[in-house]
Amino acid sequence: MANLDPETVADVIDWNTFGQILEMDDDEDDREFSRSIVWNFFEQAENTFTQMDTALTNGDLDQLSSLGHFLKGSSAALGLTKVKNSCEKIQHLGAKKDETGTTELNDPEFCLKEIQTILESVRQEYAESESFLRKYYDSEESGSN
Amino acid sequence: MDRKRIWVRRPHGAATTVLVSASDIVDDLKTALIGKYATSLGRTHDAPDISIRMSHASPSSGQHSPHGRRKRRGDTVRRELAAALDPHIVSQQHTHQPGSPSEEDDRVLQPDEVVFALLDKFFPTGMSMQDAFLVEVPDDIMPVASHNRVPIAGVLTPQEGVISDDDIEFLRGHIPDIFHAQSTQSLPDEATYHLQSNRHGLEVLDQQQRASSADPYGAPPYLPQHGSFRQSHGHVHRKQTGSPASGRSGASGPVSIPIVVSSTMTPQISTQPPSHPGPSRPQPQPIQQHVDARAIHSAGTRGVVDDEGRVGRARSPHRTASPHPHPLSHNHQHSHSHSGTVTPTQQTQTQSHVNVKSPLQNVTRYEGDSASSAGRDSSDVERETTVTPINTNIKESKADTSEKKDNSDEKSVNGTGLKEKSSRHREKASQQVSLGSGLLFDGVVPPVKVLIVEDNIINQKILETFMRKRRIRSGVAKNGREAIEKWREGGYHLVLMDIQLPVLSGIEATKEIRRLERRNRIGVFVDEDAGNIKEDDVLPPHRFKSPVIIVALTASSLDSDRREALAAGCNDFLTKPVNLVWLERKITEWGCMQALIDFEGWRSWKGSDDAEKDANGSSTSNSRSRRPKAVIRSK
C-alpha cells in the first residue's frame, strides 16, 4: 500500500475504529470477517443512496431522516467519518432541524434542498472511502502484508 | 567432616561466603548459592542455571591490592560482555597478574568439579574475599545494539542508534526476570541501559504485536500516567521523554527509555494508579513492572493517558494505519489493554467484592466519561493499561475475571511462576489472536448471555462477532419490539440497546422491560400492586433472577440523551461507534456481577459448555472452564 500515507488515510477513515474490526479477523491474509463487513457496507450504502433519491423525489423527509440515521450507524462503525457526518446532517434535516440537530426549522423546502446538496457530497465521500477500502483489500490480497 | 569457607559474589555485588564440605561438588555449591541468593536469583533461576566463575586465582592470593582485584573483575565483566556481543572477539589478557597466567584459572566452574580440589589447586593458602567466585546468570549479559554500549558498572550514556527488533525481543524476554530479581544487597552501581529507539523501531514492534495477537497494547486502557518505579534504593526511574507520542500529536522522535537492568529492583515498583472510571483496584506490584516496562516500549509510539487521566483507546494512526507491512514476525504478545481494560489478564485481580460495586459506580462516573469519550475519535487517549509480562500479552486481568485468576496470579507474583505464566499466556495468545482491539482478556469473560439490539445489520454483525469470539452467547433484535420479545424468552443478563431504533425506540423498550420486571417482582423495585399482574405481563420466574442490565448505545454524547437513557432504566451507556475495548469492559463488569447473582445459570451454562467441549474434543482452554470456583451467592 505504498500510495497510502498516514495523512491520506486519516482523512478518509478513522483507523482507530476500523482497526477494531480488522483485529477481529482470524486470518490476516484472508481477512474474511472484515472483508465481509466492508463489502456488506458497500452494498448497504449504495442501496441507501438509491432509496434516498426516491425519498427526495417524493419529498419524504421522514424517510430521508431515517435513512440518514441508518447509514450513519454503519459508516460510523467502520470509521468512515465523513460519510457518517453527512448522514447525520441528512438525518437532522430530515427531522426538520438544522444540520447540527439543535434548532427546529419549519422550512421543509429548505431542508429538502439542503439534503439534495448533501446527498451529492456524501456520494463523493463514499466513493472516496470505497476506493480506499478496495485498494486496501487489494493490497492485502496481493500479499504485500 | 571439615567444612571450608569459600567466597562468592554477584557481579557488582558484595562478597559473601558459603560453607562447603569435602564431598561437595560445584553443583552442590550452586544449590547453596541459590539458597544464599534466595530473594534475587532464587526467584528467577534454578540452581543449574547459574554459573560460577573463577577468575584470577592466584597461589599467592591476598597479595594483590583490592583495587587491582576490582579492576580485573571489571575487565572480566567487560570481556564477557564483549564476547557476548561479538563471538569473534577473542578474550585476551586473561589475567594481569603474574603467577598463574594460564587460562585455567579464569573460567566457569563445571558442575562436577569437587570444590575442595579447586580450592587446593588455586587457593592453597585459602580463599580471600578478593578471590570470590563470580556468580552469574545468563541475564547478566545483555547484548545491545551497539557494541559501544557495554555496561561497566555504571550508567551507560545514551547512544544514538536504533534498537533492533531482535534486541527488543531479547530485552523483553529478559526484563521480567530482571525486574523480579531482587537483591538483598545494596548495590551502589547499577547498570542502567538507556536505550534510544526511534519511533519506527517501537512502531514495528507494536505492529508486530498487533499483528500477532489481539494487540496487547492495542489499547490498554490503563497506562499509568507517570509510571515510576520506586525502588528501595531509589535508583530506578522511568522517564518518558517528550510528550506522549500519540499519533495525534505526531510522535516525537527518539524516545529515551531507561531500562534498569539490575538486580536491585524490588517488586515494590508501583505506578500511579491509573485514573479511570472503573473501579479502583490495587495492582499487584510485580505486574506493574511489566506494565511499565511494556509501557516503556509502547509509550514512545503511543502516548499515554491523556491529561484527564481518562483511559480511552488510543491508537496512533501510525501504528494501526500502517500501510507499511512489516516483515518481522513476533511470536508472542497479546496485549491486552486493560482499562480497566487491561489486556493482559494475568494480573491478579482480587476484586470480586469490588465488582459488585463497580458497575454502580460506573454509572455515575460514565456521565463524565462519555463527555470526554465524545471526543474520543479525535483524541488518542491511551488506554494502554495492559499489564502483562512483557513477553506475553500485557493484560491486566480485569477485576471481573478475578476469582479464577487469583490463584494463578498469586503464583506469578513470585516471579518464578511468571515464566510458566508467560508460556501459558503465549499458548493462550495464539488462541486469542483475533479477539480484536487488543482486548485480551485472556479469554476470561463472564458466562453471560447478551442481547444485541441494533437495527443496522452491519453493526449487529460486528457485535455478534465480538461476542462469538469471546464465547459469549448472544441474541439479536432489530427493533424495540423484538427486543422485548427476545428478552422475555429469558436467560439474558445484559442488553446492548441501541437507543435510536425503529418501531419501538430503545427508550421505550427499556421502560417496558423495567415495567415488566417490577410487575413480576424481579429485582429490588417492586410495584405495589404487583399482585394483580396481567396475564400478558407474566414472565417465567426461574429464568429471571435479577433485573437485566441494559447498556444504552447512544449515538450522541449529549448529556440530555444520556440522562434520558438512565432515567428510562438503563444502567449504563456507550457512545457509538462503540469502542470495543470499552464494550468489553462493560461486559466484564456488569456481566460478572450478573453471573454472580445467577449462579444457577452459570452452573447450567458450565455444564453445557463442558459438554460442548467434550463434543468438540478440543480444549480451547477457555478460561471459563476454570471459572469461579467459589461463587458466592449474594442473597
Strand ranges, E, within B156-238: 192-197
| Cβ contact, residue pair B456, A74, below 8 Å | yes
Q: Return d(Cα B188, Cα B199) in angstroms, integer.
A: 33
Question: What φ, ψ does residue B633 adopt, rounded to 5°?
Answer: -75, 125
Q: Which residues make Cβ contacts (< 8 Å) with residue B317, sequence separation at least 6? A: A6, A9, A10, A15, A16, B247
Contacts of A79 in chain B (CB under 8 A): 577
Indicate yes or no: CB of A23 within 8 angstroms of CB of B215. yes
HEC per residue, B163-186: CCHHHHHHHHHHHHHHHHCCCCCC
| B630 interfacial to chain A (CB closer than 8 Å) | no
CA-to-CA distance for B275 and B281, rounded, in angstroms?
10
**With left for phi above 0 and alpha for psi between -120 and 50, is residue A59 left, alpha or beta?**
left
Residues 6+ apart with CB under 8 A from B309: B225, B274, B275, B276
Of residues A5, A33, A72, nearest to B465 (C-beta):
A33
Task: Name the grid cell of B121.
Answer: 589447586
Q: Are B585 and B221 in contact (CB under 8 A)?
A: yes
The C-alpha cell of A10 is what?
Answer: 486519516
Among positive and negative, which fits the CA dihedral B290, B362, B382, A75? Answer: positive
What is the number of alpha carbons within 13 Å of residue B632 lying toward its C-beta? 6
Q: Per-residue DSSP letters for B245-295?
A: --TTT---S-EEEEEE--TT--S--B-PPP--SS---PPPHHHHHHHHHHH
How many A/B residue pairs have CB atoms within 8 Å?
109
Residue carrying the nine cell digits 472511502: A129
Q: What is the pLDDT of residues B332-353, one digit of tens each?
A: 433 333 333 333 333 333 333 3
Closest residue of B to A48, CA-based? B456
Contact: B500, A14; criterion CB under 8 Å: no
Indicate if the pLDDT at residue B303 is higher than 60. Answer: no
Q: Would you call the peptide bond into B244 cis, given omega within 30 degrees of 0 as the criterion?
A: no
Nine-digit cell at B115? 570444590
pLDDT band at A61 (very low <50, low <70, confident <90, very high): very high
Residue to substitute from A16, A71, A137, A145, interface B, most B β-carbons within 10 A: A16
Beta carbons within 10 angstroms of residue B256's beta carbon: 15
Contact (CB, 8 A) for B440 and B345: yes
Q: What is the DSSP string of B99-147?
A: S--SGGGSEEPPTTSBHHHHHHHH-TT---GGG-EEEE-GGG----SST
For chain A, what are the domain ranges? 6-143
What CATH fold (topology level) applies to the domain A6-143?
Four Helix Bundle (Hemerythrin (Met), subunit A) (1.20.120)
Taking an 8 Å cut-off on Cβ atoms, the answer to whether B215 and A78 are in contact is no
Which of A94-103, B404-413, B518-527, B530-539 has the least mean pLDDT? B404-413
Closest CA to B415 of B181, B123, B198, B127: B181
| B window 297-316, beta carbon within 8 A of A | 313-315
Mean pLDDT, residues B420-434: 44
User: Is A6 within 8 Å of B317 when comparing Cβ atoms?
Assistant: yes
Q: What is the 3-state secondary structure (H, E, C) of chain A?
A: CCCCCHHHHHHHCCHHHHHHHHHCCCCCCCCHHHHHHHHHHHHHHHHHHHHHHHHHHCCCHHHHHHHHHHHHHHHHHHCCHHHHHHHHHHHHHHCCECCCCCCECCCHHHHHHHHHHHHHHHHHHHHHHHHHHHHHHHHHHCCCC
Per-residue pLDDT, averaged over B21-49, amounts to 88
**pLDDT bracket for residue B443 (50, 70, 90):** low
> Which of A36-40, B8-12, B112-116, B376-380 comes out lowest in average pLDDT?
B376-380
Residues 4-63 of A with CB under 8 A from B: 4-6, 9-10, 14-17, 19-21, 23-28, 33, 36-37, 40-41, 44
Closest in A17, A24, A69 to B434, CB measured: A24
Which residues from B are below 8 Å from A25, CB to CB? 434
pLDDT band of residue B92 (cuts 50, 70, 90) is very low
Of B240, B251, B237, the closest CA to residue B201 belongs to B251
CB atoms under 10 Å from CB of B547, counted, come to: 18
Query: Given CB atoms, is A72 within the 8 Å cutoff of chain B?
Result: yes
pLDDT category, A44, cuts 50, 70, 90?
Answer: very high
Contact residues on chain A for B575, CB-CB shorter than 8 A: none
- pTM of structure: 0.46
Distance between first and last Cα of chain B: 66
Average pLDDT, chain B: 60
Contact B469 A41 (CB under 8 A): no
**pLDDT of amino acid B298:** 40
Q: What gap in Å lies between CA B288 and CA B545, rounded to an integer?
A: 38
Contact criterion met (CB < 8 Å) for A144 and B325: yes
Please tell me if residue B327 touches chain A, with a CB cutoff of 8 Å: no
Subunit contact B458:A9, Cβ cutoff 8 A: no
CA–CA distance from A65 to each of B352, B432, B503, B556 (Å)? 45, 40, 15, 16
pLDDT tens by residue, B446-473? 778 999 999 999 999 999 999 999 889 9
Reduced to 3 states, what is the DSSP secondary structure of residue B434? coil
Residue reference for cell 462519555: B370
Using a CB–CB cutoff of 8 Å, tell me whether B503 touches chain A.
no
How do residues B127-161 score in pLDDT, each as one tens digit?
888 888 888 888 775 544 444 444 444 444 444 44
The pLDDT, as a whole number, for residue B78 is 56
Strand residue runs (E) in B478-595:
494-498, 549-554, 572-575
Containing H/E element for B6?
A: strand B3-9
Dump pLDDT digits (tens) for B44-74: 888 888 888 887 655 444 444 444 444 445 5
B130 touches B64 (CB < 8 A): yes
- pLDDT for B399-425, tens place per residue? 334 444 444 444 434 444 444 444 444
User: What average pLDDT does range B491-501 have in this prediction?
Assistant: 90
Nearest to B576 by CA among A35, A3, A38, A14: A14
Average pLDDT of chain A to the nearest whole number: 90
Spatial neighbors of A63 by CB under 8 A, at least 6 apart, are A51, A55, A94
ipTM of this predicted structure: 0.93
Rounded distance between C-alpha atoms, residue B31 and residue B42, angstroms: 10
b/e for A21-52, b at 16 or more Cβ within 10 A?
bbbbbeebeebebbbebbeebeebbeebbebb
Checking if the pLDDT of B487 tops 80, the result is yes
CB contact set of B297 (below 8 Å; sequence gap of 6+) = B168, B172, B202, B205, B206, B257, B390
pLDDT-wise least confident of B68-82, B404-418, B435-449, B545-559: B404-418
Substitution target in B458, B471, B499 with the highest count of A β-carbons within 10 Å is B458
Mean pLDDT value of segment B111-130: 88
Name which of A19, A36, A77 is nearest B315 (Cβ-Cβ). A19
Q: Are A80 and A13 in contact (CB under 8 A)?
A: yes
What does the pLDDT average to over B498-509? 87
Residues in CB range of B614: below 8 A, 6 or more apart: none
| Closest approach of B9 to chain A, Cα-based (Å) | 49
Are B336 and B388 within 8 A, CB to CB? yes
Residue of B nearest to A10 (CA): B317
pLDDT digits (tens, 9 = 90+) for B578-627: 899 989 888 888 888 887 777 666 667 666 666 666 666 544 444 444 44
